[in-house]
Amino acid sequence: METKYYVVSRIDGDYAWLDCTSAQEEPYFIARALLPMEADEGSKLKFENFQFEMI
C-alpha cells in the first residue's frame, strides 16, 4: 500500500473533501468519522495502512 498525502479542502457537515498532494487525482469525498478528530479545513493528512493521521 502506497502512502498518500491529502489536504482537507472543504467540510460539508459529516463529510470532507480531500485534495491529494502526492498524485494527480480527483478530490476525494470521505466521512469525517474516518479522519482524526482534530482534522479541519486546511489540515494536512497522511494516508497509510488504511488510516489517516495528521502531519
Taking the domains of the chain in order of start, what are their residue ranges?
4-54
Cell of 4: 498518500
Q: Which residues make beta-bridge pairs with 44?
A: 7
Strand order in the sheet with 51-54: 28-31, 15-20, 4-12, 44-48, 51-54
Is the pLDDT at 1 greater than 80, yes or no? Answer: no
Question: What pLDDT is attached to residue 22?
Answer: 80
Question: What pLDDT is attached to residue 2?
Answer: 85
Distance, CA of 25 to CA of 38 (rounded, Å): 24
Q: Which residues make beta-bridge pairs with 15?
A: 12, 31
2-55 pLDDT per residue, tens? 899 999 999 999 999 999 998 788 898 999 999 999 999 999 999 999 999 999
| CATH architecture, range 4-54 | Beta Barrel (2.40)
Read off the pTM: 0.87
Distance, CA of 46 to CA of 5 (rounded, Å): 5
